[in-house]
């Protein structure tokens, strides 16, 4: 499919050259975010080799976290919704669901260990009387868990939370498998070879002309992407949004399909900001039948009103593999957007400023 490019041809070629300038990219990436992005498969492989056992039988799992620390739980919630008869839920914020009780395993996930929302939920979860586990690299969560003899899965420190996804995802997979919710370890292992191959195809040394992540980054540059995906892979769209927000320092938003047909579509067809916004649709090879037809009709309606959406078909033999490969693609896209904008992808000074104001 041919997508509309917003640059004049010569300017587009100039921007493309920025993504093939390895020296410039290395100079911009002062904190080595690229190495953390390419390390995702290795992080997963390492984390799922760790030991975690659960003494008590449970009938549900509640994963508590916010921001980048909760994305691993989001992926496994999507996965469990089609593979498990036990409920797996991610609690973001400061409240536990009413149904969390003595038969619910509560996993408290904070990469830094100092996320105040998670520390607050730890105290609330202890009152419910069910089994608990912490997943962290240190901080207050590690100390509180050790003081209370709560088991902890310790992950390596020194990374941005969003760049520790593999460790946090792998650790959360240990938890839901121990709870008998889903065979997450086996399915993650199965996905690793495809992720390694994709990593090689998206790396900076692969020229823009044949590098999917670089080509999509060029389409998204200087626009505000709004990324849509079906519910079974909705976390991919959310991860694309947050990685573009944090790595590229850009506004981006995400939503679900077909839910957007009942609200967002009005803005796309009748709104006034079309030149600034860009719809991005994520689809899988397995999207067919009614859902596939409806997405095609939605895309055509948007086209008929003067907007050329970016449509990305994600590969993967299973929904979990598709999610992981889609997330890796989005991570690379966010990195290349940072390179186009000339910014170091790692620092997030505004988030740190906000945290300081909340102390």
Catalytic residues: 246, 262, 355
Please compute Rg for the chain using Cα positions: 21
**Contact present, 187 and 79 (Cβ < 8 Å):** yes
Q: Please name the residue ranges forming H helices in 30-99.
A: 33-38, 40-47, 71-81
Query: Which DSSP category does 58 fall into?
Result: -
- Distance, in Å, from the CA atom of 287 to the CA atom of 79, rounded to the nearest integer, reads 16
Number of H helices, E strands in the chain: 15, 9
- Counting every residue written for the chain, the total comes to 359
The string of DSSP letters for 234-276 reads: HHHHHHHHHHHHHHS----EEEEETGGGGTHHHHHHH-S-TTT
- Distance, in Å, from the CA atom of 62 to the CA atom of 47, rounded to the nearest integer, reads 20
The H-or-E segment that residue 106 falls in is strand 104-110
**The two three-digit tokens of residue 343, written as one number:** 């910014």
Largest CA distance in the chain: 64
**The two three-digit tokens of residue 157, written as one number:** 């420190």
């Amino acid at each position: 499919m041919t997508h509309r490019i917003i640059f004049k041809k010569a300017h587009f070629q100039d921007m493309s050259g920025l993504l093939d300038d390895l020296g410039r990219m290395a100079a911009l990436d002062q904190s080595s975010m690229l190495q953390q992005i390419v390390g995702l498969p290795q992080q997963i492989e390492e984390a799922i080799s760790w030991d975690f056992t659960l003494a008590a039988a449970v009938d549900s799992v509640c994963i508590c976290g916010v921001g980048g620390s909760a994305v691993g739980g989001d992926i496994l919630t999507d996965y469990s919704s089609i593979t498990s008869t036990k409920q797996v839920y991610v609690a973001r914020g400061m409240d536990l669901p009413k149904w969390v009780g003595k038969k619910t395993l509560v996993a408290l996930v904070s990469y830094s260990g100092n996320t105040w929302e998670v520390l607050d939920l730890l105290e609330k979860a202890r009152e419910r009387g069910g089994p608990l586990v912490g997943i962290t690299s240190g901080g207050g969560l590690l100390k509180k868990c050790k003081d209370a003899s709560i088991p902890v899965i310790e992950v390596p420190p020194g990374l941005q939370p969003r760049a520790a996804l593999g460790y946090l995802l792998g650790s959360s997979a240990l938890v839901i498998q121990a709870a008998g919710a889903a065979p997450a370890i086996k399915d993650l292992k199965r996905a690793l070879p495809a992720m390694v191959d994709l990593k090689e195809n998206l790396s900076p040394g692969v020229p823009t002309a044949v590098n999917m992540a670089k080509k999509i980054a060029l389409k998204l540059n200087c626009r505000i992407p709004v990324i849509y995906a079906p519910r079974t892979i909705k976390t991919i769209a959310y991860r694309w949004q947050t990685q573009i927000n944090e790595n590229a320092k850009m506004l981006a938003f995400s939503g679900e399909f077909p839910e957007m047909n009942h609200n967002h579509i009005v803005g796309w067809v009748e709104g006034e900001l079309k030149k600034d916004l860009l719809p991005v649709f994520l689809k899988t090879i397995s999207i067919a039948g009614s859902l596939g037809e409806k997405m095609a009709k939605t895309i055509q309606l948007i086209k008929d009103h003067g907007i050329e959406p970016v449509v990305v078909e994600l590969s993967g033999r299973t929904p979990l593999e598709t999610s992981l490969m889609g997330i890796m693609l989005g991570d690379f896209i966010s990195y290349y957007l940072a390179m186009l904008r000339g910014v170091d992808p790692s620092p997030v000074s505004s988030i740190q400023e906000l945290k300081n104001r909340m102390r």
